[in-house]
Amino acid sequence: MSPSRADLQRTASEVFGWEDFRPGQLEAMEAAVNGQDVICVMPTGAGKSAVYQVPAMTLPGTAVVISPLIALQRDQTEAINEAAGATRAYVLNSAQPQGYWDEAWAAAGKDDGPGKAKFLFLGPEQAAREEVLELLQALDVSLLVIDEAHCVSAWGHDFRPDYLQLDQLVRALDKPVVALTATAAPPVRAEIAEQLGMRSPREISLGFDRPNLHLAAARYEDAEDKRRAVLEQAGKLDVPGLVYVATRAETEEYAAALQESGLRADAYHAGRSHEDRHRIHEEFLQDEVDIVVATTAFGMGIDKPNVRFVVHADIPDSVDSYYQEIGRGGRDGEPTEIFLHYRPEDLGIRRFFAAKAPDEEALAKLFKAVKKHTEPVPQAGLREELDLNPRRFSSLLGLLEQSGSVTAADDGYSARSGVGAKTAVKAALEFSEQRRNIEESRLEMMRQYAETTECRRRFLLNYFGEDAPDMCGYCDNCERAEAEGEELGPKESDTAQPFPLQSEVIHSEWGLGTVMSYEDETVTVLFESAGYKTLSVELVLEKGLLQEP
DNA sequence: CGGGTCGCACATAAGTGCGACCCGGTGCATTATT
């Protein structure tokens, strides 16, 4: 008999002291305790962890939580153990001594009761180890939780390829999967579900609008003009605030310049010592540092209510990233300035980061090695045979698998019969190129946000698949239009919108897509295999470029 | 893709202009040294 709504509420109150839920939270919890897979998109992070913590404490067994950062795992563990008044959660990683691992497994193996481990936190790298997988399979697992699930799509493909192996864990445990993230546009959600092998997941989204964020942007021709504007703005706005830049060097430069004008600023990036990073984070939380100038390294796990501005000195790689970064502002609901400083040239570094093409030779070598085996070969065995560094190895193997030349089963990898090395390499390269095209189209959407003359909030909401009024009245474009007595949005007089928002359409070359937005007599469609494309509405109608499926 | 730095040619004093070259983000785990 599954726990009821009342059981969940009782646990929430007794263990965590939470008396109220937001509507979506309870809905997500109920789905999970009833055995359904859930993708939960909750923008601000407020109450996101409750969605798995309450069901896990209510259900018998132990929840396995996959989370990208050890620091994040520690925070969650401490919060749980403190609320429960006992050690109910363990963080497992390579830095923990064997004795701690043993203790965690022993506690997880106990019958339900005060000494029982109710949560095990692991990174995807640990979950991918065969011995860990076996131990997990032997446990009575209640839920499999994938926290910050957008990392599957954003990092899995080459940065942390073990994310792409989580589908094996999903299959091996065969328990409800709860995927949590703060942002995910529809295609990112679809990719999460697909990569994790989720079974018709229930999608729960709490809505993306953050009405207290004031949105604005400015475009520059000259790099020095932009730099001056960023410094001047950061010096004038109410603190605390965040300045996001593209490179480590820039964090140092901007932070130094701000310090020189007497501001309490510091630079944050992954090249700084763990000690410095920790200190800056703490000082920022305590309002001892007012402005953190950071790369994308400063982000997940930062939960500070009173951030008064989020200024981007460089454009991010996608609207998904942008939304996540600006979402760290104004969590207290007070007015917060969100500003994007943009130069078209800044798109270059994002292209560079996304541009890595796989090594053909290594692909061929790896495929031949798999093919040589007549029986499925486990990853560890392959790795030993080949002289490839482990990270490259995983990402290349993933590419071969995703492009269909290699199949994965519980006992290892096999080459698809009848496929030659040449074909396999070609398929992998094409797959990888398609991915890069989609990445490019996501960057292109970010450029459109930077350059739009229409309501920015509507642009963001449409991007995440939500409808929105033509004008929000709280962004630079709406304010300009109001001052000039204009109306934004598609005009009545225009040929308007031949296909409704969020409806499906077909294009002869790009295949199936979803209508995302209309703007300036263009329509933006998200194609499953080609990414975002923006077309002239006039041409679409004239040439019949889009059809109902 | 774009920006910064370095060295060279130019040419006759100290600098300019140009091309070649290198570099750039996120974290896990692991390994070799202090």
Q: What is the pLDDT of residues A399-428, one digit of tens each?
A: 898 899 998 877 788 999 888 999 999 999
3-state secondary structure of A286: coil
Query: What is the model's pLDDT at position A494?
Result: 56
The C1' atom of B23 and the CA atom of A465 lie apart, in whole Å, by: 38
Nucleotide nearest to A295 (CA to C1'): B25
3-class DSSP string for A42-84: CCCCCCCCHHHHHHHHHCCCEEEEECCCHHHHHHHHHHHHHHH
The C1' atom of B33 and the CA atom of A57 lie apart, in whole Å, by: 45
Residue nearest to nucleotide B2 (CA to C1'): A348
The C1' atom of B29 and the CA atom of A491 lie apart, in whole Å, by: 56
pTM higher than 0.85: yes
Q: How far are the Cα atoms of A90, A368, A390, A418 from residue A371, in angstroms, in the given order? A: 40, 5, 19, 10
The C1' atom of B4 and the CA atom of A464 lie apart, in whole Å, by: 38
> Which residues put CB within 7 Å of chain B, the nucleic strand?
A 68-71, 93-95, 123, 125-126, 154-155, 158-160, 223, 246-249, 269-271, 295-297, 317, 343-345, 347-349, 351-354, 356, 391
H helices of A261-332, where? Answer: 274-285, 319-326
Query: What is the model's pLDDT at position A392?
Result: 74
Q: How far apart are CA A288 and CA A285, in angstroms?
A: 8
Report residue A209 as tokens: 């609008």
Nucleotide nearest to A349 (CA to C1'): B1
Q: Give chain B positions with protein CB within 7 A.
A: 1-4, 24-30
The C1' atom of B11 and the CA atom of A312 lie apart, in whole Å, by: 46
Nucleotide nearest to A245 (CA to C1'): B25
Mean pLDDT for all residues in chain A: 93
Whether A415 and A406 have beta carbons less than 8 Å apart is answered as: yes
The C1' atom of B16 and the CA atom of A224 lie apart, in whole Å, by: 22
**Per-10-residue mean pLDDT for chain A, 549 residues long?**
90 93 90 96 79 96 98 96 96 97 97 94 95 96 97 92 93 97 92 95 91 97 95 97 97 96 97 95 97 96 94 98 96 97 97 86 89 85 75 83 87 87 93 92 97 96 94 97 86 71 94 92 92 94 93
Query: What is the model's pLDDT at position A510?
Result: 94
Nucleotide nearest to A159 (CA to C1'): B26
Q: How far are the Cα atoms of A88, A110, A285, A499, A511 from residue A115, in angstroms, in the given order? A: 7, 7, 33, 58, 55
Amino acid identity, position A410: D
3-state secondary structure of A304: coil
Structure letter (DSSP) for residue A475: B
Count Cβ atoms below 10 Å from residue A315 Cβ, excluding itself: 26
Report residue A59 as tokens: 């259900």
The C1' atom of B1 and the CA atom of A299 lie apart, in whole Å, by: 26
